[in-house]
Amino acid sequence: MKFMKLGSRPDTSVSSEVSSDLVVQVNGTRYLLHKFPLLSKCLRLQKLNSESPESTQHQIIQLPDFPGGTESFEVCAKFCYGITITVSAYNIVSTRCAADYLQMTEEVEKGNLVYKLDVFLNSCILNGWKDSIITLQTTKSFQSWSEDLGITSRCIEAIASKVLSNPLKVSLSHSYSRRGRDRDEISVNGSKTATKGWWAEDLSELGIDLYWRTMIALKSGGKVPSNLVGDALRIYASKWLPNISRNLENGETNSNSNSKSRLLLESIISLLPSERASVSCSFLLKLLKAANILRASSTSRSELARRIGIQLDEASVPDLLIPCSSNDMVYDVEVMFTILEHFMLQSQSPPVSPPRVKGRFERHRRSRSANNGDFELQEGRRSSSSSHSAKIKVAKLVDGYLKEIGKDVNLPLSKFTALAEAIPDFARLDHDDLYKAIDIYLKSHPNLNKTERKRLCRTLDCKKLSVEVCMHAAQNELLPLRVVVQVLFFEQARAAMASGQLTDLPSNIKALLAAQGDASKPPGSLSTNRSMVQPEDQWSVSGLRSPNASLATLRMKLAENDDLDENFHDGITKSNSSKVRHICSLPTHPKRMFSKLWSTNNRSASEKS
C-alpha cells in the first residue's frame, strides 16, 4: 500500500514485519492493512470486523459510499499508523466526514482524529478569512455530512463575525496571498478609489445557497451598511448572471441552466436591502430585465417594479428598455406603467407640517416649539423641492422612453397616449421631446386615421415648443392641421408681441402667452418660473390635471372640434382687434397659409434685427 501527502510525490509504502491481515475495499480500491492499528482507533471497523466471517488469511471489509473517497481514507489510515498527515482548508471537511464515518472518536481512544480535527478547525481554519471561505465552499460536496456535523453553520458564523466586527475592513489570513493585487483599491475611470466592502468579492465565490445563508447572517447582525450589502449583491449578480440576454438571442437556452439562474436571481432579489439608496436604479432594472428573460415569479418582478418606482428619477432611458417576451411588442410597456404608478403613489405622500402645541404648557414651550416647527417646515420644504425635481426628471425620462418605443410598429396607440398623458402638465417644462416622440410614432405608423392623429397629439402643448421644433412642426405634413395652426398662431403672436406690433391683444390671448413667461423674452424661450412655484403640483395616476378654462380656451376648442374654421375663430377672435383677426385669418389652402404666415414672421424678425 502506498500513502501520499497532499501535494507531494508518493513516498514509500508502509512496511512491516507482520503480514497484512485485513483487506479494506473503498470505492473499488483494495488496501492490504493490519487490524491492530486500524481497529484500535476506528469503532466502525471494529463492528464490521466482528460481523464479517473470518477467512484463512485476510478478512475483507467493504466501505461503500465512503465520504471523500480514497484520498480521505488514506489520510485516516495514515493517522492510525502514526504517519504525519497534512490537513488544510481544502481537505479538512472531507477528512472530518471520513473520520466521523469511521467513528474515530474519544470513546475509542483519547486524542483521536475527530477531536484533533475539531480543534484544528476551530483554532486555525475558522480564524482565517480566506480559509473559512474555502472550507465553506468544500462543504458543498458533503452537504448532508457537513450539516449534521455543524461544519457549515460554523463556517458561516465565522465569516459573518469577521465582517460584522469591522464591515469596512476584513483581515486576511497569513497564508492568503493578494497575488500582486491591491484589494483595498479598484480603478474607476483611470483613478483609484477605496473599496470599503471588498469582502464581497471573496463571498461571490460561494454558491447561491451558501451565499444566501451567509448574507442573511450578515444582514441579521445589523452592523453592515445597506449600501455595502447592495454592492455585494451587485458583484455577485455580475459574476453569476452574465450574458443572459445574449444567450437568449443566440438560441443558447437550456431549461436546466435557466432554472438555476432563475433560482439565483430570485434569491438575490430576496436579499435586497429595504433602504432606498442601498442599490442603484440601474442595477434594479438589470435585474428586472433578467427576471423577464428567465420568467421569474410574479412576486419577484412586482417587488423589483416597486423598488424601481421608488427611485425612478435615477434611471436612464436605455435601462428602461426591457425586452418583452409575452407579445409582439419589442419592449415591455406594461411594466413601465407599473413602475410609473409606484413612483406616482410614493410621491403623493403628504407634506411635513410643524406640529402645534396646545394646552396649559403652550406658553412655556412656545419658543422651543417654534424652533422645532421651523426646522420641520424647512425639512418639509426641502423634501417637497426634491420631490418636485424628481417629477421633472421622470417627465423628461418618460418622453425619452416614448421616443424609443414609438419606433415599434406593433405598439398600440392607446398605450403610447396613456403613457404620454400620465405625466402632469407642470412636470414638462418643455414639450420638445414629446413632439419628437409623436413625430417618430407618426412615421412608424403611417396608417393612422385623422381621429387617431388628433388623439396622439392631444397632450402636446404648442406654446412649450422651442423655435427649432416649431419650425419643424410647421412643415410636418403628418401632424393634424389643428396642431400646425396652433404652432403658427403662437409663434406669430409671440413674435408680434416681442416686436411691439400688437399691444391690444385680447385678455385671454395675453394670459395664454403670459403663462409661458414674460412677453419681453425672445420667441420660443421657455419660462423658468413655472418650475419654481407650482401651486397645482399634483402627480396623479389618473393623468393630467384639469386645465384652467380661461387660459386654455384655444387648446380645448381645437382638441374638441373637427372643423377649424368657425370654432377656431369663435375660440380666439371674439375681439374688436383687427390685427388679431388678421393673424388668425386662415386661407383656403394650407400651403399658401403656411407660406404667408411664415413670411410675416420672417419679416418681423428681420425688421427687429
Q: Each residue of 135-145: pLDDT tens digit?
A: 999 999 999 99
pLDDT of residue 177: 40
The per-residue DSSP string of 402-437 comes to: HHHHTT-TT--HHHHHHHHHTS-GGG-S--HHHHHH
Interstrand relation of 22-26 and 29-33 (parallel, antiparallel or unpaired): antiparallel
pLDDT of residue 338: 95
Residue 124's alpha-carbon distances to 30, 109, 130, 173, 489, in angstroms, are 34, 23, 12, 10, 84
Is the pLDDT at 542 greater than 60? The verdict is: no
pLDDT of residue 501: 59
In three-state form (DSSP H/G/I as H, E/B as E, the rest C), the secondary structure along 56-91 is CCCEEEEECCCCCHHHHHHHHHHHHCCCCCCCCCCC
pLDDT of residue 434: 97
Is the pLDDT at 76 greater than 80? The verdict is: yes
pLDDT of residue 54: 66
What average pLDDT score do residues 557-561 get? 44
Is the pLDDT at 389 greater than 70? The verdict is: yes
Q: Which of 540, 539, 559, 541 is nearest to 549 (CA)?
A: 559
pLDDT of residue 384: 54
> What's CA 460's distance to the chain center, in Å?
32
pLDDT of residue 59: 80
pLDDT of residue 60: 86
Q: Which of 244, 220, 236 is nearest to 268 (CA)?
A: 236
What average pLDDT score do residues 539-551 get? 37
CA atoms of 9 and 6, how far apart (whole Å): 8
pLDDT of residue 576: 36
148-153 long-range Cβ contacts below 8 angstroms, 24+ apart? 149/96, 149/97, 149/100, 151/93, 151/96, 151/121, 152/210
Q: How many CB atoms lie within 10 A of CB 201?
A: 15
Is the pLDDT at 67 greater than 70? The verdict is: yes
Query: Looking at residue 278, what DSSP letter applies?
Result: G
pLDDT of residue 307: 95
- pLDDT cut 90: percent of the chain above it: 50
Question: Per DSSP, what are the bridge partners of residue 31?
Answer: 24
The model's pLDDT over 482-496, given as tens digits with 9 standing for 90+, comes to: 999 988 888 887 777
pLDDT of residue 26: 93
What average pLDDT score do residues 181-188 get? 35
Lowest mean pLDDT among 3-7, 169-173, 563-567: 3-7
CA atoms of 177 and 196, how far apart (whole Å): 19
CA atoms of 84 and 79, how far apart (whole Å): 7
The model's pLDDT over 321-378, given as tens digits with 9 standing for 90+, comes to: 998 877 789 999 999 999 999 999 886 654 444 444 344 434 444 444 445 555 444 5
Question: Per DSSP, what are the bridge partners of residue 331?
Answer: 323
The more confidently predicted of residues 175 and 551 is: 175
The more confidently predicted of residues 577 and 538 is: 538
pTM reported for the whole predicted model: 0.73
CA atoms of 409 and 352, how far apart (whole Å): 46
Q: How many CB atoms lie within 10 A of CB 460?
A: 23
Interstrand relation of 59-63 and 185-188 (parallel, antiparallel or unpaired): unpaired
The more confidently predicted of residues 564 and 90 is: 90
Q: What mean pLDDT value characterizes the chain?
A: 75
Q: Which of 274, 345, 273 is nearest to 309 (CA)?
A: 345
Give the model's confidence band at 509: pLDDT under 50 very low, under 70 low, under 90 confident, else very high.
low
Q: Which of 587, 573, 557, 430 is nearest to 509 (CA)?
A: 573
pLDDT of residue 298: 93
The model's pLDDT over 268-314, given as tens digits with 9 standing for 90+, comes to: 999 999 998 899 999 999 999 999 989 999 999 999 999 999 999 99
pLDDT of residue 479: 93
Sign of CA dihedral 572, 574, 579, 582: positive
Residues 399, 434 contacting (CB under 8 angstroms):
yes
CB burial of residue 353 (10 Å; 0-12, 13-18, 19+): exposed
Residue 481's alpha-carbon distances to 478, 486, 495, in angstroms, are 9, 9, 21
Is the pLDDT at 133 greater than 70? The verdict is: yes
What average pLDDT score do residues 211-220 get? 96
CA atoms of 185 and 255, how far apart (whole Å): 39
Query: Looking at residue 523, what DSSP letter applies?
Result: T
